C-alpha cells in the first residue's frame, strides 16, 4: 500500500526523504516517474486526494495519514523533506504546485512560510472551537496541532534545581560555568527568544541572553538529546531542551538512556509566574491548493480526538486540544502552566532574536 522512497539518510533538517503513498495497483509502475506524475496518477484511481508537503519526520505520522484515509476515503500523498527544501519546491512549482497542505514543526518555521505567502486563511468552525487561540495564526493561516514545552533540565549533583526555576534564573552568577546550550541558529532557541522579546521587550531579552552566555560551560554545540546526555553525565549542570527528548530517554529501549533520564531533574520554567514557553507542530492550507475542500478536511481531522491522540501522544508531544487526555508518559511529567504568548510572535521576532544572540556571542 505504501511505497517509501528515501533519497538520503534520515537527518531531521538536511537531505531529502520522499514518502509517497500509492494504491497497491500502481506499485512498481511509478518508481522514477517523478512526484508530480505520481500525484497525477494516484488521482486517476482515487475519487479524492490530498497532497501533503511535510517537514515532520516521525513514523507516527503514517498513522495520521492512514486514519484520515479510513475516516474520509480521501487518499493521502506525502512528500517529506526539510522545510527550506519544501518551501523552495513550492516556489519553483508556483501556481501549479500540487501541494494542498504544508506541515512542519516550530511556529517560527510556519511564520517563515507565512511570509512567503504559502498559506491561505481557513474558515472552519471545528478548528476555531478546538485549537486554542495562542496556538494558531491570528489570521487562521496555520494551526498548531501539538505542543512542545522548552524545559530546563539539571543534574542535581551539580546544580540545585531551586536555582533554575525560571529562564531568568539561568542568569544567576551562581550558575557560572554550568550551562551547556544549543546553537542560537536552532529554530527552537530562536522561538524561545522571540517569545521573550514579545513578552519582555528586546532590551530585557538581550540582558537575559548576556546573562546566560556569561554562565556557559562551553561554546554552544549539539542538539537537545546530546545536551541532555551531557548534563546527565555531569559535563555540565543544566541545559534547555524540548520536553519530548527527555521523555524519549525515559522510555528508551537503551538502558544507558533510561539511566541518563534518571540522572536528570526536569523543571517547567516559570511555572509560578508567566508559564513555560511552548512551541507547536502545525499545518496550513496552501494558497494554491488544488484540493481545497480535502485540505480543510485534513486540517479538521488533525484536530479530531483520534488524530490528537496520535499527533500529540505518539511522539510524546502534548495534544493541542485541551479536552484530549495526555498519554501516561506525559501525564507523569505533571501539570504545568504554559506561557499564553501567541506563538505567531515567535516568527515575527525571529530576526530580532537572531541579532540579539549574535551580539551577545551565543553562536
Ligand atoms: Fe525536535
Same domain? 27 vs 130: yes
In the reported structure, the alpha carbon of residue 94 is separated from the centroid of ligand 1 by a whole-number distance in angstroms of: 29
> Tell me: the pLDDT tens digits for 145-191?
999 999 999 999 999 999 999 999 999 999 999 999 999 999 999 99
φ/ψ bin of 73: left (φ > 0), alpha (ψ from -120 to 50), beta (otherwise):
left
For the cut 50, the answer to whether the pLDDT of residue 239 exceeds it is yes
Local confidence band at 40 (pLDDT 50, 70, 90 cut-offs): low
In the reported structure, the alpha carbon of residue 23 is separated from the centroid of ligand 1 by a whole-number distance in angstroms of: 31
Same domain? 129 vs 201: no
In the reported structure, the alpha carbon of residue 242 is separated from the centroid of ligand 1 by a whole-number distance in angstroms of: 7
Same domain? 156 vs 231: yes
Say which CATH number the domain at 293 has. Answer: 3.40.190.10
In the reported structure, the alpha carbon of residue 40 is separated from the centroid of ligand 1 by a whole-number distance in angstroms of: 32
In 3D space, the residue among 51, 153, 61, 148 whose CA is nearest the CA of residue 109 turns out to be 148
In the reported structure, the alpha carbon of residue 105 is separated from the centroid of ligand 1 by a whole-number distance in angstroms of: 8
> Rounded distance, CA 301 to CA 126, Å?
9
In the reported structure, the alpha carbon of residue 217 is separated from the centroid of ligand 1 by a whole-number distance in angstroms of: 23
- Domain contains 330: no
* Averaged pLDDT, 241-256: 97
Number of domains in the chain: 2
In the reported structure, the alpha carbon of residue 80 is separated from the centroid of ligand 1 by a whole-number distance in angstroms of: 16
> Tell me: the pLDDT tens digits for 9-34?
333 333 344 455 543 333 333 333 44
- Domain contains 129: yes
> Within 13 Å of residue 354, how many CA atoms lie on the same side as its CB?
8
Same domain? 173 vs 188: yes
In the reported structure, the alpha carbon of residue 318 is separated from the centroid of ligand 1 by a whole-number distance in angstroms of: 13
Same domain? 173 vs 88: no
- Domain contains 134: yes
pTM: 0.88
In the reported structure, the alpha carbon of residue 301 is separated from the centroid of ligand 1 by a whole-number distance in angstroms of: 23
The predicted pLDDT at position 37 comes to 52
> Rounded distance, CA 206 to CA 89, Å?
36
Same domain? 246 vs 267: yes
Same domain? 209 vs 356: yes
- Domain contains 214: yes
Same domain? 235 vs 265: yes
> Tell me: the pLDDT tens digits for 253-291?
999 999 999 999 999 999 999 999 999 999 999 999 999
Same domain? 347 vs 204: yes
In the reported structure, the alpha carbon of residue 106 is separated from the centroid of ligand 1 by a whole-number distance in angstroms of: 9
Task: Report CA-CA distances (Å) from 234 to 157, 221, 251, 322.
Answer: 8, 16, 21, 37
CB 216 within 8 A of CB 239: no
Local confidence band at 313 (pLDDT 50, 70, 90 cut-offs): confident
In the reported structure, the alpha carbon of residue 118 is separated from the centroid of ligand 1 by a whole-number distance in angstroms of: 23
In the reported structure, the alpha carbon of residue 55 is separated from the centroid of ligand 1 by a whole-number distance in angstroms of: 11
In the reported structure, the alpha carbon of residue 224 is separated from the centroid of ligand 1 by a whole-number distance in angstroms of: 8
The predicted pLDDT at position 202 comes to 98
The range of the structural domain enclosing residue 14 comes to: 2-147+280-325
For the cut 50, the answer to whether the pLDDT of residue 8 exceeds it is no
* Averaged pLDDT, 301-312: 94
In the reported structure, the alpha carbon of residue 314 is separated from the centroid of ligand 1 by a whole-number distance in angstroms of: 13
Same domain? 126 vs 258: no
Which residues lie below 8 Å from residue 108, measured CB to CB, with a gap of 6+?
187, 190, 191, 194, 346, 347, 350
Grid cell for residue 204: 530585557
The percent of residues above 70 in pLDDT, for the chain, comes to 87
Same domain? 183 vs 197: yes
Kind plus residue range of the DSSP H or E element containing 346: helix 344-348
In the reported structure, the alpha carbon of residue 57 is separated from the centroid of ligand 1 by a whole-number distance in angstroms of: 10
Pairing of strands 143-154, 16-21: unpaired
- Domain contains 235: yes
- Domain contains 139: yes
Same domain? 71 vs 84: yes
Helix (H, G, I), strand (E, B), or coil: what is residue 136? Answer: strand
Amino acid at each position: 500500500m505504501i511505497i517509501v522512497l528515501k533519497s538520503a539518510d534520515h537527518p531531521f533538517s538536511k537531505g531529502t526523504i520522499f514518502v509517497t503513498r500509492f494504491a497497491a495497483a500502481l506499485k512498481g509502475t511509478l518508481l522514477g516517474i517523478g512526484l508530480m506524475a505520481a500525484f497525477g496518477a494516484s488521482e486517476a484511481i482515487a475519487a479524492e486526494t490530498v497532497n501533503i508537503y511535510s517537514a515532520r519526520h516521525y513514523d507516527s505520522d503514517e498513522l495520521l495519514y492512514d486514519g484520515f484515509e479510513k475516516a474520509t476515503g480521501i487518499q493521502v500523498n506525502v512528500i517529506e523533506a526539510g522545510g527550506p527544501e519544501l518551501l523552495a519546491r513550492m516556489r519553483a512549482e508556483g501556481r501549479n504546485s500540487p501541494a494542498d497542505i504544508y506541515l512542519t514543526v516550530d511556529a517560527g518555521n510556519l511564520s517563515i512560510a507565512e511570509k512567503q505567502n504559502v498559506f491561505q486563511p481557513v474558515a472552519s468552525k471545528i478548528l476555531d472551537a478546538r485549537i486554542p487561540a495562542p496556538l494558531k495564526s491570528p489570521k487562521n493561516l496555520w494551526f498548531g496541532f501539538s505542543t512542545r514545552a522548552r524545559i530546563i533540565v539539571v543534574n542535581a549533583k551539580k546544580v540545585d534545581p531551586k536555582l533554575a526555576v525560571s529562564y531568568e534564573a539561568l542568569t544567576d552568577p551562581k550558575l557560572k560555568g554550568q550551562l551547556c546550550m544549543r546553537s542560537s541558529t536552532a529554530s527552537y532557541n530562536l522561538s524561545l527568544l522571540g517569545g521573550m522579546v514579545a513578552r519582555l521587550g528586546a532590551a530585557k531579552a538581550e540582558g537575559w541572553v548576556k546573562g546566560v552566555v556569561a554562565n556557559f560551560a562551553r561554546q554552544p554545540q549539539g542538539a537537545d538529546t546530546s545536551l541532555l546526555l551531557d548534563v546527565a553525565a555531569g559535563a555540565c549542570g543544566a541545559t534547555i531542551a524540548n520536553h519530548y527528548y527527555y521523555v524519549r530517554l525515559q522510555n528508551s529501549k537503551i538502558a544507558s538512556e533510561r539511566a541518563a533520564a534518571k540522572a536528570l531533574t526536569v523543571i517547567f520554567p516559570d511555572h509560578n509566574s508567566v508559564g513555560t514557553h511552548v512551541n507547536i507542530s502545525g499545518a496550513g492550507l496552501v494558497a494554491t491548493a488544488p484540493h481545497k475542500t480535502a485540505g480543510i478536511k485534513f486540517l479538521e481531522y488533525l484536530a479530531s480526538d483520534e488524530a490528537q491522540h496520535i499527533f500529540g501522544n505518539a511522539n510524546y508531544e502534548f495534544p493541542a486540544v485541551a479536552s484530549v487526555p495526555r498519554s501516561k508518559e506525559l501525564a507523569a511529567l505533571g501539570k504545568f502552566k504554559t506561557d499564553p504568548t501567541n506563538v505567531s510572535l515567535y516568527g515575527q521576532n525571529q530576526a530580532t532574536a537572531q541579532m540579539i544572540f549574535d551580539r551577545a556571542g551565543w553562536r
